[in-house]
Amino acid sequence: MDPRATARLPALADVSAAQRRIQGHVHRTPLLSSRFFGDRIGARVYLKAENLQRGGSFKIRGALNAILRAREEGRLSPRGVLTYSSGNHGQGVALAARIAGCPSLVVVPEDIIPVKRAAIEGYGARVVPWGRTTEDRRQRGEEIAAETGTLVIPPFDDPDVIAGQGTVALEVLDDLPAADVLVVPIGGGGLIAGISIAARALSPEVQVFGVEPETADSMYRSLAAGAPLTIPPSKSIADGLRAVRPGDLCFAAARALIAGVWLVKDGAIRAAQRELLARAKLLVEPSGAASAAALAGAGPLLAGKAVVAVLSGGNAEPADLLTA
């Protein structure tokens, strides 16, 4: 693990501080048992329903922690905050900025899902469409920030953002101290970094596995190579998991703390979306359904265990579930 990255990673104390900071502004989302998914693999399966979070995903946790801490430390300017996002982090930052009482701007992909753009604008943010990849958006966002002095809230590779995302694990292990395995979708890696830091500190025996689409496997390839890699852009239906490179901090946490990364096909993700809607009555976007999609393929490894699948978001176009 890169010592420079290790030094910047948040610890359990930072995650606990984030939980206190954002408490009262975010939902404590339910941990729901699922006999349907459990019987399929012979395990006790639970669903952490972050699709029911404010803003429709876990992203409000990290965004709000970063913005509120910046306000505490006097780092918020009158120009407000800026981020770059495929949608969910943009919603989180827009909502967090509204809570903090400051302006926000979000650089989004030109092909952003309409429901996500509408939500970002609905929270009061200004939207700037630019490019199609995470790197396109990051470069444009940093250019605007340099020109205006706006504070950047990165989507994943930031200690305060990672600490905020780790509050998911605090809730899971409070509700289910005997959890054996946590299954977490990976985009840029902020969620799995925060969850693995908190979960492994509280319960060293717990295993954390990541899930990526087969065509958007930047963390999987990076872990195999021993360093963060940039991969070609993906067209996976899981738009929130299409990061072309994991964050440096996120990679460092994953390399040290997670048990592995599983890859899933888009067809399995779509099937899991439909099963979650039909069986659990939960509308989950493709990125959020990736964790549930991975369970069947990992069945032998999970049999007899208490398994938590993190459903990271629910900002889906319902009509998409009617198509192949």
* Virtual torsion, Cα 198, 199, 200, 204, nearest 10 deg: 140
Q: Looking at the structure, do residues 42 and 184 belong to the same domain, yes or no?
A: yes
Mean of the per-residue pLDDT values of the chain: 94
Residue 129 phi, psi dihedral angles, 5° rounding: -70, 135
Q: Is 230 left (phi over 0), alpha (psi -120 to 50) or beta?
A: beta
Q: Which two tokens stand for residue 298?
A: 């990992």
Q: Looking at the structure, do residues 114 and 197 belong to the same domain, yes or no?
A: no
- Identify which has the larger pLDDT, 316 or 107: 107
Q: Looking at the structure, do residues 35 and 75 belong to the same domain, yes or no?
A: no
Residue 144 has pLDDT above 90, yes or no: yes
Q: Looking at the structure, do residues 180 and 293 belong to the same domain, yes or no?
A: yes
Q: Looking at the structure, do residues 191 and 274 belong to the same domain, yes or no?
A: yes
Q: Which of 76-80, 194-198, 291-295 has the lowest mean pLDDT?
A: 76-80
Per-residue confidence at 6, pLDDT binned at 50, 70, 90?
Answer: low
User: What does the pLDDT average to over 145-149?
Assistant: 92
User: What does the pLDDT average to over 62-87?
Assistant: 94
Quote the pLDDT of residue 55: 93
Quote the pLDDT of residue 81: 97
Quote the pLDDT of residue 1: 45
Q: Looking at the structure, do residues 34 and 98 belong to the same domain, yes or no?
A: no
Quote the pLDDT of residue 115: 83
User: What does the pLDDT average to over 13-34?
Assistant: 98
Of 162, 152, 161, the closest CA to residue 254 belongs to 162
* Virtual torsion, Cα 176, 178, 180, 183, nearest 10 deg: 10
Q: Looking at the structure, do residues 291 and 171 belong to the same domain, yes or no?
A: yes
Q: Which of 61-65, 131-135, 153-157, 284-288 has the lowest mean pLDDT?
A: 131-135
Per-residue confidence at 31, pLDDT binned at 50, 70, 90?
Answer: very high
Q: Which of 106, 138, 157 is the last residue of a domain?
A: 157
User: What does the pLDDT average to over 146-161?
Assistant: 95
Q: Which two tokens stand for residue 175?
A: 């509700």
Residue 148 has pLDDT above 60, yes or no: yes
Q: Which tens digit of pLDDT belongs to each residue from 296-320?
A: 999 899 999 999 999 999 988 777 7
- Identify which has the larger pLDDT, 63 or 4: 63
Q: Which of 20-24, 77-81, 102-106 has the lowest mean pLDDT?
A: 77-81
Q: Looking at the structure, do residues 196 and 63 belong to the same domain, yes or no?
A: no
Q: Looking at the structure, do residues 196 and 260 belong to the same domain, yes or no?
A: yes
User: What does the pLDDT average to over 222-227?
Assistant: 98
Question: Domain tally for the chain?
Answer: 2
Query: Range of 301's domain?
Result: 3-58+160-322
User: What does the pLDDT average to over 150-171?
Assistant: 97
Residue 173 has pLDDT above 60, yes or no: yes
Q: Looking at the structure, do residues 106 and 44 belong to the same domain, yes or no?
A: no
Quote the pLDDT of residue 136: 87
Per-residue confidence at 324, pLDDT binned at 50, 70, 90?
Answer: low
Q: Which tens digit of pLDDT belongs to each residue from 231-288?
A: 999 999 999 999 999 999 999 999 999 999 999 999 999 999 999 999 999 999 999 9
Quote the pLDDT of residue 317: 76
Question: Which CATH number belongs to the domain containing residue 135 in this structure?
Answer: 3.40.50.1100
Q: Is 56 left (phi over 0), alpha (psi -120 to 50) or beta?
A: left
> Across-strand partners of 264?
213
Q: Which of 104, 122, 157 is the last residue of a domain?
A: 157
Q: Looking at the structure, do residues 188 and 278 belong to the same domain, yes or no?
A: yes
Show Cβ contacts of residue 181 under 8 Å, excluding neighbours closer than 6 positions: 206, 207, 208, 209, 302, 305, 306, 307, 308
Q: Which of 157, 182, 200 is the last residue of a domain?
A: 157
Q: Looking at the structure, do residues 53 and 72 belong to the same domain, yes or no?
A: no
